[in-house]
Structure 1
């Protein structure tokens, strides 16, 4: 912790968590985010967002104020509110608001699930822009995110998922937020902006490739480069590893700052058996998306497949340095132990993740898989019965979704 920097505590969704990681990694502020990860940890330059609870945040704010540090609450403006009031809000020196951003237009299946059958791509595009305009007005930002998206979305992709913007938009978000902190280094902000504009933003999960009929319905033309990106992702999905490696130089030239390029190359080299190249690609993948579980599991698959125990140890060491005790580390280690046949060693990690993750049904999976390996079927039955007895319909749907693909766990669920 750099006590010469302002302290910034964020609330909000993954966009705020990413901002928090960027400010800390760029030495613009000492920053934390209220709450827990949302299934992954946003990061920047290998530095993870640091998630804390409100009580810890209150203590950090009080301590910082006693030492004369400048304290900022970074709060997200949403369609429903200008800002969130928390126990420490009255103590901070400054409240800086940042807008909620979204782009459901390119993800019609997700849009229909969330907004109903009338959520056509064009209607969603209009709604996305309207919501962003509302949020940016509430936040007081001078950056016109809606205008930028309206002008540029027809020409190129600006989001990776409905709530995960690319580097161009993230750069503007950092400029909007950081420039409001007193005495901030303007040159440092400019350096961060330029770096982010050339990089990917939050890209640990993706709704790409967007279907061609969706782009046509929107009147978008994303050009030959996007078609090349579509080709790469389609080849990865179909397991066309030779096709990926035959085009490796082209993909790296065009998408060298893209998580899914390096994930595809890691998988391809692992499958083909070009181990040295697979390790290089894995390292780049972990540079870009270390907060996503699947990045580490693909690394484990590589080292297990080729019997590289030193590689597994180095991977665990790297994960320890990144996660620094946050709950996803326990999730990762539970799967690492299970996938290397060490169910007894997996149990404490699985229990820790389950205990610390009541908000996500995926916390059940490593624990129940561990108990399955240990043949403790009655304990599994008790846990599932309790979860089902207290589950809301939404929670039940989440449980079923997380058990999908695991018939040994599905067997414990009641019939739909």
Structure 2
């Protein structure tokens, strides 16, 4: 497969690199940064429709932007969920009225989104969701709990998978609802404190929250939700790999500096990590180039999750006992502060769980690619 960059792509790279150099660090906060990106049209390059305040780019230009963004040291995106998950789903399944209402604010960086899928009893088994929505005239009332909701504490809207048909089970009777988060007394967000000391995820409680928009047909939420998950692992995986490359570089530099690289076992593991990263990149490019099958997203998830978890282990192993030592100074407000290697080790423990656990990905490959008998799903 030929996935090269042409003259137009390299010109685009120069424009992107110049813009990032001039603007990274100028924004005051994460929302301000999203608006800065939106103002110059950098949000929504991958949408197949323009005219909402965004510019559209070819697949290779999307790859260029993702890589240059990662290399520039720009902050993590608060608008990722709205731009790369919600918007493509709305373009595919939404009405023209919904597109006109929701796409321009996403493109402008003015409205942030979060994803209301997982529940305490429905994580990897998404079809087990129990959040319910009852229709009242031209809207629904949503009641239930979602968990591990990234950026819910910042989001303006949440797309929620809820059960809208009484007595329905599994994939049937679900709808894809759009819920505004600013509903005091009806939407409550509780941050979840992690081992890293940060709170990137949240619990969200809906108590009769109002939802006026349904994307797709009533009761067809499962198909809409699966379309969205298909967008989850696209060009952004290449930017993720740029971050992985920087982390691996740091681990190698540490091993060289402290002499751990002289250990033949550690040296072999470092080489395996380097080779694994190259394998992930070519798999991602092959997938984006159209040479993929039904199990390609699951293969990609298995590749990067296991690789990144091993890197986290390696990061602390090359440092030895030093990696277990905390900062020299601490306070009651900040009892410990993790350095980058410690954060990598602790956060990567979750890599094989979130975004679809490894067990679920292997089941998908077994059933959809290898044609093995399906696992029993109870009342499906």
Same fold (TM over 0.5): no
Smaller-chain TM-score bracket: under 0.3
The structure richer in strand per residue is 2
TM-score scaled by structure 1? 0.23
The structure richer in helix per residue is 1
